[in-house]
Amino acid sequence: MITAVASSIIAAVAALSVDLGTVALEARRLQGVADLAALTAATDLVRAKEGAEATAQANGRVDTVEVELGVYRPRRELDRSERFSPSDHEQASAAKVTLTSTAPLYFGRALGLKPVAVTRRAIASRVASEPRAAFSIGSRVARLEGGVANALLSGLAGGQIGLDVMDYEALADADVSLFRWMDALKTELGLEAAGYDEVLATEVEAGRALSVLETLLGDDRAGRAVGRIADATRGRSLTIGDLVAGELMETPGLGLELSALDLASTVLEIGNGDRQLMLDLGARAGLADLDIDLAIGERPNGSPWLAVTGDGQPVIRTAQARLRLRARTAQSLAGLAQVTLPVVVELAASEARLAEIDCQADRVTLEARPGLARAWVGDVDDDALSDFKRPLAPSQTTLVSVAGLVRVKARADVEMANQGFQPLTFSEADIAAERIRTASTREAGSSLVSTLLGRLDIEVQALGLGLGLGGLAGAATALLTPLGPVLDGVLNPLLDTLGLKLGQADLRLHGLECPSTGGPGVELVG
């Protein structure tokens, strides 16, 4: 009896499995037919309905064929169901095909069950129906100083990095494909079947992302340098989409070759969780000691570093930054004491956006707005330095205090005005060479500290009575003025490595994609 009952159950399960397998097989067959029909429809949008029906009927039994024309926007901020929007024929660049058929039931009929209706859909889009360009902001790898770069990247990574200038030059000269790097990340993270939008939404440890970059570069100087940076990275993570935004689909026109130094430093910058770094840069000419506190603000509105787009969105921005330099002179002021000079610098985010694409001339115009730069000689505490929601208001500083009897105080303030958006045009040659173009304020920013020290307002107090000692003020000015170029020589390479510049915005156009004269290609997108 048990055997008979068990055999009946087994036979029923086997029959159900056969019918379920039949439904699954029909669904898989119908999806393949839908894919083919969508590709045919998108190839010729004028006769999309006829092409889809002919393809569907030629590839097996199909009950109904529905075709809808529209526009497909592969933007990761949109849900998959929202990326296709219907439109009229003139604006359409994609076709959505929906097919239905019935899957027969072989054993279910004995139970009175009806055939199962199966529906499958596919979306195909015309590739490069609109021109696109890829560009980044804040790339400045021409000037490198090993000690400054090591101090900065060590602070961002959370561990000590010891590279020399040749290592940094190798990183600056090594190019890596963004698509190859993201494909390698897919494998590393077990996302081989994922699209680029899913990779952009993935959070990954910065050290792991850099290890993938090391593998791509191979066992040469640049690869070994990235490996040492990856080994030093501790407790940092980032979402890949914080680096890149836009319609990211791999196409020949947008190879997106990036400098390994740009990519590595930006990964560390965005992955840095502390946002405030203490850099000990050691003694310099005329200085007994020099320390720098660097606070890095969030990129406004989650703005990425690199964009792929066909219009003025998104606007990409550099990070805000604040620096506090504490310099102590090697010489004493009038034999009394060494001078301690605090300099505070604030850099607002620089911005860039796509203004125009001229495919006939292979020319792209970007618009850039350099960030406002302001510097003070004055004191500011740690909390105020890292609180980007409050404006900085440094107080008057004491340069020298001798037993409370003599105090030398000073203040200074210099500001670079923001000029608004400036057009920067990239020719075909500029695009091929990925040449950097710079938008600048009218005031040169390379000598900011020198300009600041030239505006020092020095006050000398004796016995707390405010008695002026003009000779001491003149001696302080004479002692500090030569230090301006020294401090500028430290500040500029530091900002270069961070991808920032005083009163300047650097833009690089990585690629231009225009519609092919032979007609656009077509690819499945959903």
Q: Which residues, 6 or more positions from 343, have their beta carbon under 8 angstroms from its beta carbon? A: 323, 324, 325, 327, 375, 376, 377, 449, 452, 487
| Same domain, residue pair 326 and 383 | yes
pLDDT at 240: 84
Where among 103, 126, 149 does a domain terminate?
A: 126
Task: Note whether 342 and 324 are within 8 A (CB).
Answer: yes
pTM above 0.75, yes or no: no
pLDDT at 365: 93
Where among 126, 157, 175 does a domain terminate?
A: 126
Using CA atoms, how far apart are residues 210 and 157, in angstroms rounded to an integer?
11
| Same domain, residue pair 119 and 143 | no
CA-nearest of 178, 182, 214, 176 to 200 is 182
| Same domain, residue pair 159 and 250 | yes
Tell me the residue range of the domain where 84 lies: 2-126
The radius of gyration computed from the CA coordinates of the chain, to the nearest angstrom, equals 31
pLDDT at 142: 46
Place of tokens 């490595």: 497
Amino acid making up residue 70 = G
| Same domain, residue pair 239 and 102 | no
Q: What is the pLDDT of residues 298-340, one digit of tens each?
A: 766 556 788 888 888 888 888 788 889 888 888 887 777 888 8
Strand 436-440 vs strand 504-513: parallel, antiparallel, or unpaired? antiparallel
Answer whether residue 522 is part of any domain: no
pLDDT at 366: 93
Using CA atoms, how far apart are residues 221 and 119, in angstroms rounded to an integer?
55
| Range list of H helices, 275-404 | 382-386
Please give the structure tokens belonging to residue 487. 């401090």
Instruction: Give the containing element (helix H, strand E) for 492.
Output: helix 483-498
Please give the structure tokens belonging to residue 148. 């400054």
Task: Note whether 19 and 105 are within 8 A (CB).
Answer: yes
pLDDT at 5: 64
| Same domain, residue pair 494 and 449 | yes
Per-residue DSSP letter, 115: P
Domain count of the chain? 2
Using CA atoms, how far apart are residues 155 and 116, in angstroms rounded to an integer?
62
| Same domain, residue pair 429 and 283 | yes
Cross-strand bridge partners of residue 415: 374
C-alpha distances in angstroms, 350 versus 44, 134, 265, 316?
44, 17, 17, 8
Task: Note whether 290 and 323 are within 8 A (CB).
Answer: no
| Same domain, residue pair 233 and 100 | no
What's the N-to-C CA distance of the chain in angstroms? 53
Answer whether residue 523 is part of any domain: no
Please give the structure tokens belonging to residue 506. 């650097």
Task: Note whether 357 and 133 are within 8 A (CB).
Answer: yes
| Same domain, residue pair 38 and 185 | no
| Same domain, residue pair 107 and 147 | no
**pLDDT < 50 stretches in the chain:** 142, 252, 466-467, 517-519
| Same domain, residue pair 108 and 177 | no
| Same domain, residue pair 319 and 296 | yes
Where among 70, 102, 126 does a domain terminate?
A: 126
